[in-house]
């Protein structure tokens, strides 16, 4: 961890290092216009973060907006049938997230927001930190892969204030395979200038194809209730284990 070099004072009175000040100045001119940045509503932020866990920003934006038009509050979502929630999620992938979000909304409806946000279904340490920072103003830096990459490459310790700026730098400039150092505000102080990361291990062919079989099977059940013997039985068993479908007397349907 580096000490903040050449400390300055931000408008809120916090002392920030020169590197972070440079990053925040860049963000002031280059920030992406994303709808969840215009709110501090914890439910809206939760919806965005769960969608963003495994789906790209461009695909999430229209689905996030549609979701909030349909279910504007945690209580509205909590009161909806699980089947409607699964259908609305179609196209976002990793369907278990739909059920977790539904259960998280039921937790909030019944007991309010927990002190420890990881008690909500589908909320791990990263999503809890993002929700804590963006909705509740907590002094925590959510570290997703992009933020971790910028920290690792620059060797700099950023504060919670830099969260959104780090996400944008990591997503648009400090890319893993082809970093755009010529566009980076931190290039002159970056020890990793011009270096790229080795490719990561991708999902195995088997994991990828089973995920697709699950997705395709769920889509068939979303269309209409099916006979069990029309469907891929391993995929049905896996979906039923997650509560995404109900199997009863040879019929497979969405949960109510
Ligand atoms: N990825 C995860 N959370 C994000 C956020 N709040 N903004 C942009 N990308 C993200």
Tens-digit pLDDT profile for residues 94-127: 999 999 999 999 999 999 999 999 999 999 999 9
Beta carbon of 46 within 6 Å of any ligand 1 atom? no
**Residue located nearest, by CA, to atom 8 of ligand 1:** 167
H runs (alpha helix) in 71-198: 74-79, 82-89, 96-111, 125-136, 145-154, 163-172
Model confidence, pTM:
0.89
Q: How far apart are CA 230 and CA 61, in angstroms?
A: 35
Q: How far apart are CA 28 and CA 144, in angstroms?
A: 21
Provide, rounded to the nearest whole percent, the portion of the chain with pLDDT above 90.
88
Spot the catalytic one: 49, 115, 138, 249: 49
Tell me the CA–centroid distance for residue 130 and ligand 1, in Å.
Answer: 8
Tens-digit pLDDT profile for residues 225-255: 999 999 999 999 999 999 999 999 999 999 9
Domains located in the chain, CATH noted: 18-189 (1.10.340.30), 210-253 (no CATH)
Q: Is 207 considered catalytic here? A: no
Residue 4's pLDDT is: 46
What is the spatial order of strands in the sheet that 246-248 belongs to?
226-227, 251-253, 246-248
Q: How far apart are CA 172 and CA 151, in angstroms?
A: 15
Tell me the CA–centroid distance for residue 52 and ligand 1, in Å.
Answer: 6
Residue 11's pLDDT is: 47
Q: Which two tokens stand for residue 27?
A: 């963000």
| Pairing label, strands 251-253, 246-248 | antiparallel
Q: How far apart are CA 27 and CA 23, in angstroms?
A: 6
Count of alpha carbons within 13 angstroms of residue 156, beta-carbon side: 24
- Coil, strand or helix: which one is 226? strand
Whether the Cβ atoms of residue 105 and residue 112 lie closer than 8 Å to each other: no
């Amino acid at each position: 961890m580096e000490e903040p070099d050449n400390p300055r004072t931000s408008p809120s009175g916090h002392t920030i290092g020169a590197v972070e000040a440079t990053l925040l100045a860049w963000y002031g001119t280059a920030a992406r216009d994303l709808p969840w940045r215009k709110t501090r509503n914890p439910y809206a932020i939760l919806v965005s973060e769960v969608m963003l866990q495994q789906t790209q920003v461009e695909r999430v934006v229209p689905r996030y907006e549609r979701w909030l038009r349909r279910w504007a509050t945690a209580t509205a979502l909590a009161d909806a049938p699980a089947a409607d929630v699964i259908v609305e999620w179609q196209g976002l992938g990793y369907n278990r997230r739909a059920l977790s979000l539904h259960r998280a909304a039921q937790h909030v409806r019944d007991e309010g927001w927990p002190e420890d946000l990881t008690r909500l279904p589908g909320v791990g340490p990263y999503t809890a930190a993002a929700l804590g920072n963006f909705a509740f103003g907590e002094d925590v830096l959510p570290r997703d892969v992009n933020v971790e990459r910028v920290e690792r490459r620059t060797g700099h310790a950023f504060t919670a204030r830099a969260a959104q700026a780090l996400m944008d730098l990591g997503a648009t400039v400090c890319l893993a395979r082809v970093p755009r150092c010529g566009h980076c505000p931190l290039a002159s102080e970056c020890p990793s200038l011009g270096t790229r990361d080795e490719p990561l291990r991708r999902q195995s062919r088997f994991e990828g194809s089973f995920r697709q079989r699950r997705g395709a099977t769920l889509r068939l059940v979303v269309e209409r209730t099916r006979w069990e013997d029309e469907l891929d039985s391993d995929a049905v068993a896996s979906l039923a284990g997650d509560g995404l479908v109900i199997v009863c007397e040879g019929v497979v349907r969405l949960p109510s």
